């Protein structure tokens, strides 16, 4: 529902923070912080806020409107989960030592055949760990590791092709060691 802030009654308009009023005049009601949504909803004809989108998860987003952003697309959810798992070392996550990956350790293996074998097992383990919560078929189609050295550090670029219900999705992330 699109709300024009200037069309609201003056007593409601005065309770809305200046940063929101000066940013733009019209907002989708869902864009506004929850307390502002309740304030506007209490004076509008529609007393309850209805959300029609299916929300899979939330991710932390430090924006000026709130502290959470919803993930309503399953593909983005899988990409977000994969990136989080790739960046988290196994055992680093508090209260659940099975979350994370050994990718940073595997990247340093000199034998690329063994590296690819262990990486395949690691990627499959990561998908199994969160894939059971998602009602879609997820598999790794292929992956590639590129290494670039400089005098200070080594950067590895990992490109992964996932199949999510037979739709190909590319994920790319960099790790500096």
Largest CA distance in the chain: 70
Q: Give me the chain's average pLDDT, please.
A: 81
Write the pLDDT tens digit of every residue in 146-156: 888 888 888 88
Q: Are 84 and 57 in contact (CB under 8 A)?
A: no
From 58-62, 94-98, 107-111, the region with the lowest mean pLDDT: 58-62
Half-sphere exposure of 42 (CA within 13 A, CB side): 8
- Domain ranges in the chain? 2-52, 74-176
Q: What is the pLDDT of residue 47?
A: 43
97: Cβ–Cβ under 8 A, 6 or more apart, which residues?
Answer: 90, 91
Quick check: 173 and 158 in contact, CB under 8 A? yes
CATH of domain 74-176: 3.10.450.40
For 45-80, what is each residue's pLDDT tens digit? 544 445 556 777 777 766 555 667 777 788 888 888
Per-residue pLDDT averaged across 67-96, rounded? Answer: 81
CA dihedral 125, 163, 84, 156 (to 10 degrees): 90
Beta strands in 5-137 (DSSP E): 26-28, 57-60, 68-71
Distances from the Cα of 117 to the Cαs of 106, 110, 114, 121, 145, in angstroms? 10, 13, 5, 6, 13
Q: What is the pLDDT of residue 49?
A: 46
Q: Quick one: average pLDDT of 91-99?
A: 78
d(CA 87, CA 173): 9
* pLDDT value for 138: 86
pLDDT at 137 over 50: yes
Distance in angstroms (rounded) separating the CA atoms of residues 118 and 9: 63
Q: Who has greater pLDDT, 72 or 174?
A: 174
pLDDT score recorded for residue 46: 45
């Amino acid at each position: 529902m699109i709300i024009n802030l200037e069309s609201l009654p003056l007593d409601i308009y005065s309770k809305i923070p200046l940063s929101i009023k000066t940013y733009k005049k019209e907002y989708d009601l869902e864009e506004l912080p929850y307390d502002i949504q309740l304030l506007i909803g209490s004076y509008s004809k529609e007393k309850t806020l209805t959300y029609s989108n299916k929300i899979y998860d939330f991710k932390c987003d430090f924006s000026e409107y709130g502290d959470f952003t919803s993930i309503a697309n399953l593909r983005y959810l899988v990409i977000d989960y994969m990136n989080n798992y790739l960046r988290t070392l196994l055992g680093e996550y508090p209260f659940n030592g099975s979350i994370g990956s050994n990718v940073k350790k595997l990247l340093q293996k000199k034998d690329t055949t063994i590296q690819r074998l262990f990486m395949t097992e690691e990627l499959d383990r990561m998908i199994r760990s969160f894939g059971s919560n998602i009602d879609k078929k997820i598999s790794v189609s292929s992956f590639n590791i590129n290494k670039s050295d400089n005098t200070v550090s080594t950067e590895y670029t990992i490109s992964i092709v996932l199949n999510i219900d037979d739709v190909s999705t590319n994920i790319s992330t960099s790790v500096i060691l």
